[in-house]
Amino acid sequence: MGYFKGLAHFGLYVENIEVSKKFYTEVLEFEPVFETSEGTHLCFLRNGACELELIERPGQMRPDGHFDHLCLRVDDIAAAAAHLEACGVPMEFAVRDMPQIYRGIKMVMFRGPDGEHLELNEFC
């Protein structure tokens, strides 16, 4: 047991990542920790233990709100995903290696009981 290690981040869709980055850093005192624009423009910001992933996809705001997903940090993503599947929770896709995020993560996504979008991250 003990697969889940706490919150990794919240994902937030934004119209203009530069405007949102300025607000979260200058007004709410978040610090930038990682940014990439390979495909979708992503910017991770941190304030204490709270991490926020800004997601910019021009013209593609989510119809069901700005928050996209809740992400939990795990030490062993394969074991955590297997645990969820044993509990009847299917993964949306196989675990993916994402070497371009931070210094490399593994990630997978699944849904909660009300269809909420959930993600697991294992930092490499």
Which value, to the nearest 10 degrees, does the dihedral of the CA atoms of residues 76, 79, 81, 85 take?
A: -170
Phi and psi at residue 94, in whole multiples of 5°? -65, 155
d(CA 96, CA 11): 18
**Residue 87 to residue 60: CA distance in whole angstroms:** 33
C-beta separation of 54 from 80 below 8 A: no
In tens, the pLDDT along 77-120 reads 999 999 889 988 999 999 999 999 888 999 999 887 667 788 89
What global pTM score does this model have?
0.67
Is the model's pLDDT at 43 over the cut of 90? yes
- How far is C-alpha 23 from the chain's CA centre? 20
Return mean pLDDT, the chain. 86
Q: Report whether 66 contacts 12 (CB < 8 A).
A: yes
Instruction: Give the count of alpha carbons within 13 A of 24, CB side only.
Output: 22
Q: Do 45 and 31 meet the contact criterion of CB atoms below 8 Å apart?
A: yes
Compare 49 and 116 and report the one with higher pLDDT. Answer: 49
